[in-house]
């Protein structure tokens, strides 16, 4: 009887029983889904493949960029992944690139950035140096012009110091030196007559010292001035005398007023020039006036 029950419950030989899998305590393992032949692969698998292809394409584009080649749209597409189009002119240097999912963007290295900053500083320094040089040149030009003006002024002053002024104003020359006539004791005129209005000031032709004043016979009221070289100029026929003997006068200073005193024929200044070497005789004043800038 026992053997019959065993035979009755024995599985047939051609039908193998599935192996019994161990049971994990607490949770049963879900059965594996059967494979389906000819169906589309799962989305996770497709995403992984796309990422691998994009990475390969980006790496290829990076190598092309680092080698100095252009990366065209056609060559940058591998496995359906698109890599940003680049050209060699948009990147500088082997280390000036970064590959990202958004594309390849140029980056300046630390050395390149430092070089650019140094170039900017140098440019600013050059500009400042140029401005300073222009300013220094302008100052030098101004200084030269000031020196030239000072030199011209010095020459003018020197000339002015040597120039004389006319002994009176508003005049006409009524008699020149050397004219003959019975009116003069020497037989000829010993000076130049400046005919002008009565009371017109008579002034010193140059810086001088008063050596004599007062009445002098035919000369009437007279003032004698000694010039710096020792020569003398005489002012005759004055209506009044405004200086005293021993007084120093400057060029243009009033020494008296024009009159009609002494051997005179009307209001005028009889102006004489006498050399230091011979004060007894008058000489023609005209050359000395002309020598000191006064033309008659």
Q: Is residue 7 part of a domain?
A: no
Tens of pLDDT, residues 86-132: 444 444 444 444 444 444 455 555 667 778 888 888 888 888 888 88
pLDDT of residue 252: 96
pLDDT of residue 57: 53
pLDDT of residue 171: 97
Tens of pLDDT, residues 145-169: 898 888 777 666 665 678 999 999 9
Q: Is residue 118 part of a domain?
A: yes
Q: Is residue 202 part of a domain?
A: yes
Nearest residue to 91 (alpha-carbon basis) of 58, 64, 57: 64
Show the domain range for 68.
48-127
Instruction: Give yes or no: residues 59 and 112 share one domain.
Output: yes
Q: Is residue 245 part of a domain?
A: yes
Instruction: Give yes or no: residues 188 and 278 share one domain.
Output: yes
Q: How many domains does the chain have?
A: 2
pLDDT of residue 118: 83
Which helix (H) or strand (E) covers residue 240, if one does?
strand 232-241
Q: Is residue 148 part of a domain?
A: no
Q: What does each C-alpha distance from 95 to 29, 98, 101 come to in angstroms?
A: 53, 8, 18
SS3 107: coil
Q: Is residue 152 part of a domain?
A: no
Kindly give the parts of the chain with pLDDT less than 50: 1-9, 11-12, 14-16, 23-26, 37-40, 52-53, 58-59, 61-62, 64-104
SS3 175: strand
Of 67, 97, 127, which residue is a domain's last? 127
pLDDT of residue 44: 53
Inter-residue contact 193 to 173 (CB < 8 Å): yes
Instruction: Give yes or no: residues 121 and 193 share one domain.
Output: no
Which helix (H) or strand (E) covers residue 279, if one does?
strand 278-283
């Amino acid at each position: 009887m026992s053997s019959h029950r065993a035979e009755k419950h024995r599985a047939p030989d051609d039908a193998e029983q599935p192996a019994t899998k161990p049971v994990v305590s607490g949770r049963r393992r879900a059965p594996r889904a059967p494979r389906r032949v000819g169906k589309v692969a799962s989305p996770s698998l497709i995403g992984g493949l796309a990422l691998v292809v994009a990475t390969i394409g980006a790496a290829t584009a990076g190598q092309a960029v680092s080698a100095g080649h252009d990366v065209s749209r056609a060559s940058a597409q591998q496995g359906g992944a698109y890599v940003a189009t680049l050209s060699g002119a948009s990147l500088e240097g082997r280390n000036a690139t970064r590959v990202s999912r958004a594309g390849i963007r140029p980056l300046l290295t630390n050395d390149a950035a430092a070089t650019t900053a140094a170039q900017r500083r140098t440019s600013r320094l050059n500009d400042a140096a140029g401005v300073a040089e222009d300013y220094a040149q302008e100052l030098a030009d101004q200084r030269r012009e000031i020196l030239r003006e000072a030199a011209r002024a010095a020459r003018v002053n020197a000339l002015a110091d040597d120039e004389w002024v006319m002994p009176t104003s508003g005049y006409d020359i009524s008699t020149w030196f050397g004219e003959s006539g019975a009116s003069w004791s020497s037989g000829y005129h010993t000076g130049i007559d400046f005919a002008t209005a009565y009371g017109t000031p008579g002034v010193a032709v140059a810086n001088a010292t008063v050596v004599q004043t007062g009445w002098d016979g035919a000369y009437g009221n007279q003032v004698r001035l000694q010039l710096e070289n020792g020569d003398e100029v005489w002012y005759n026929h004055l209506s009044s005398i405004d200086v005293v003997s021993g007084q120093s006068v400057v060029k243009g200073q009033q020494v008296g007023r024009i009159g009609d005193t002494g051997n005179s024929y009307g209001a005028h200044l009889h102006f004489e020039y006498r050399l230091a070497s011979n004060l007894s005789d008058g000489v023609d004043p005209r050359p000395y006036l002309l020598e000191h800038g006064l033309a008659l």
